[in-house]
């Protein structure tokens, strides 16, 4: 068995255990994910019978219609619908709860697939994680979900070219008192801390980050309390670095990103995650709007493909999907929504993408 088990929320085997490994490989903790039993049943394609289930009745009626014989186009549509239903029925359920080292976290609704992989890394000892993904892809939400899944406090800060070392590790105030930062508190007391837009941070901040991740101790050389000038990293502290790149420098889409020192990037080996736009979430946002919602979703996906191929420096994130849904709910037409989502685009950019 692997280090990651899936068990029903009701009727599971209890706490986690240790994995017995060959003598040359150290034992590692096992992480479990628990799900409500009824959701597992649905996910496995064996949903419990429900009296007067309208969906079952509709399926039976469609099956009877097909059995009676009909035209080939309708049968093809039915077959495509059946495949779609099967895919949805066997999709990983979204509500999960993880147990790591016998410590259960909160139930996470709408959990992304990447969350399981991140919990597994933490369970086997990784404490520095890297997330790379486009703007608006949900990296901050995923970091918060990881904290809830582990049952630990969550903190974060975003960086820019104007960020300073003091914003990360604290600084002296006007009265000469040292003000410890939220990062220092998380570093020493445990939790999940997100360093957002880390690939936009200036060199002095990146040096401080590398020092904090290097050997389990953090230097606060300007601290007014000599006993606090070296602090120890808590074993339950997980640091997540998130950016739009892999730390190797600017791209066509993110031209303001500088390369990050290889020594710093090496701290994240084995726990690096590519975070894209979550198709399931975007589908659920637009699903209530029927054909118009599907049109918007197809349009957004087509734009993203063309943006990537033409290297036009525009972003169409999940925020655009949310905006479109709000406009649909308010009665805006599809042309109005398209116009709003491309406000600020040049004629040349529109010609390449729309």
Question: What is the pTM (predicted TM-score) of this model?
Answer: 0.71
Q: List helix spans (H) across the chain.
A: 37-43, 54-67, 72-89, 113-123, 139-150, 165-169, 182-189, 203-214, 262-265, 279-286, 290-310, 318-329, 334-341, 347-353
pLDDT of the chain, 354 residues: tens digit per residue: 334 443 334 333 333 333 323 333 344 455 665 554 333 222 223 333 334 455 566 667 667 766 666 566 666 666 666 666 555 544 554 688 888 888 888 888 888 889 999 999 999 999 999 999 988 899 999 999 999 999 999 999 999 999 999 999 999 888 988 999 999 999 999 999 999 999 999 989 999 999 999 889 999 988 999 999 999 999 999 999 999 898 887 776 777 788 898 989 999 999 999 999 988 889 999 999 999 999 999 999 999 999 988 888 889 999 999 999 999 999 999 999 999 999 999 999 999 999
At residue 152, the pLDDT reads 95
Answer yes or no: is 44 within a domain. no
pLDDT (0 to 100) of residue 104? 85
89, 114, 137 — which closes off a domain? 89
Is there a single domain that holds both residue 152 and residue 248?
yes
Cα separation, 165 vs 119, whole angstroms: 29
Residues 264 and 292 in one domain: no
Asked if 321 and 209 sit in the same domain, the reply is: no
pLDDT value for 38 = 34
- Closest to 34 in 3D by CA, of 101, 102, 106, 96: 96
In this structure, are 270 and 128 located in the same domain?
Answer: yes
203 lies in the same domain as 341: no
Pairing of strands 154-158, 97-100: unpaired
Q: Are 90 and 133 in contact (CB under 8 A)?
A: no
Q: Are residues 260 and 142 in the same domain?
A: yes
How many C-beta atoms lie closer than 10 Å to residue 200's C-beta? 20
Asked whether residue 129 falls in the same domain as residue 258, the answer is yes
- Size of the chain in residues: 354
CATH number at residue 211: 3.40.50.300
Residues 236 and 251: their CA atoms lie apart, in Å, by: 34
Given this model, what pLDDT does residue 16 score? 34
Last residue of a domain, one of 89, 110, 144: 89
Does residue 325 lie within any of the structural domains? yes
User: What's the CA gap between 337 and 320, in Å, rounded?
Assistant: 10
Q: What is the torsional sign of CA 134, 140, 141, 147?
A: positive
Domain containing residue 190: 124-274
**Residues 210 and 340 occupy one common structural domain:** no
Q: Pull the structure tokens for residue 328.
A: 């649909």
**Domain presence at residue 3:** no
199 in any annotated domain: yes
Structure tokens at 265: 């990037």
* Statement to judge: residues 136 and 61 lie in one domain: no
| 269 and 133 share one domain | yes
What residues pair up with 238 in beta bridges, in sequence order?
Answer: 192
Q: Which of 301, 309, 241, 239 is nearest to 276 (CA)?
A: 301
- Give bridge partners of residue 219 from the DSSP assignment: 230
Is 110 within the bounds of a domain?
no
Q: Which of 3, 90, 97, 99 lies closest to 40, judged by CA?
A: 90
Within-domain flag for 172: yes
CA distances 201 to 136, 181, 240, 251, 260, Å, are: 19, 17, 14, 16, 9
| Long-range own/partner contacts, residues 116-120 (CB < 8 A, 24 or more apart) | 116/4, 116/33, 117/273, 118/142, 118/146, 118/271, 118/273, 119/4, 119/31, 119/33, 119/146, 119/149, 119/150, 120/3, 120/4, 120/31
What letter would DSSP give residue 64? Answer: H
Query: Which of 274, 306, 324 delimits the end of a domain?
Result: 274
Residue 315 token pair: 């972003």
Report the distance separating Cα 317 and Cα 192, nearest Å. 25
Is 167 in the same domain as 260?
yes
Q: How far, in Å, CA of 312 to CA of 342, rounded? A: 12
165 lies in some domain:
yes
Residue 222: the pLDDT is 87
Q: State residue 312's pLDDT score.
A: 86
Asked if 287 and 240 sit in the same domain, the reply is no
Total of domains in the chain: 3
Residue with tokens 């529109």: 350
Residue 17 located in a structural domain = no
């Amino acid at each position: 068995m692997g280090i990651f088990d899936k068990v029903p929320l009701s009727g599971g085997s209890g706490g986690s255990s240790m994995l017995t490994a060959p003598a040359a490989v150290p034992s590692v903790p096992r992480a479990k994910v628990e799900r409500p039993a009824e959701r597992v049943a649905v996910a496995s394609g064996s949903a419990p019978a429900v009296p007067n289930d309208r969906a079952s009745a509709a399926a039976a009626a469609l099956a009877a219609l097909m059995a009676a014989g009909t035209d080939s186009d309708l049968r093809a549509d039915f077959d495509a619908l059946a495949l779609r239903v099967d895919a949805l029925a066997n999709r990983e359920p979204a509500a999960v709860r993880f147990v790591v080292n016998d410590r259960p976290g909160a139930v996470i609704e709408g959990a992304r697939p990447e969350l399981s992989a991140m919990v597994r890394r933490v369970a086997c000892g990784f404490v520095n994680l890297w997330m790379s993904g486009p703007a608006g892809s949900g990296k901050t939400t995923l970091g918060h979900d990881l904290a809830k899944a582990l049952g630990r406090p969550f903190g974060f800060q975003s960086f820019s070219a104007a960020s300073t070392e003091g914003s990360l590790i604290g600084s002296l105030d006007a009265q000469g008192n040292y003000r410890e930062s939220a990062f220092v508190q998380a570093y020493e007391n445990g939790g999940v801390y997100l360093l957002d837009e880390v690939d936009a941070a200036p060199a002095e901040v990146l040096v401080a980050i590398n020092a904090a991740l290097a050997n389990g101790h953090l230097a606060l050389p300007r601290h007014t309390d000599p006993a606090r000038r070296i602090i120890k990293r808590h074993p339950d502290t997980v640091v997540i670095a998130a950016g739009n790149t892999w730390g190797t420098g600017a791209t066509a889409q993110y031209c303001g990103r500088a390369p990050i020192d290889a020594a710093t990037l090496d701290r994240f080996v084995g726990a690096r995650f590519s975070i894209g736009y979550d198709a399931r979430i975007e589908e659920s946002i637009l699903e209530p709007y029927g054909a118009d919602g599907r049109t918007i979703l197809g349009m957004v996906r087509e734009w993203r493909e063309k943006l990537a191929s033409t290297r036009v420096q525009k972003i169409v994130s999940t925020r655009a999907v949310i905006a479109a849904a709000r406009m649909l709910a308010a009665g805006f037409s599809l042309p109005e929504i398209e116009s709003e989502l491309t406000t600020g685009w040049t004629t040349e950019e529109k010609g390449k993408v729309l």
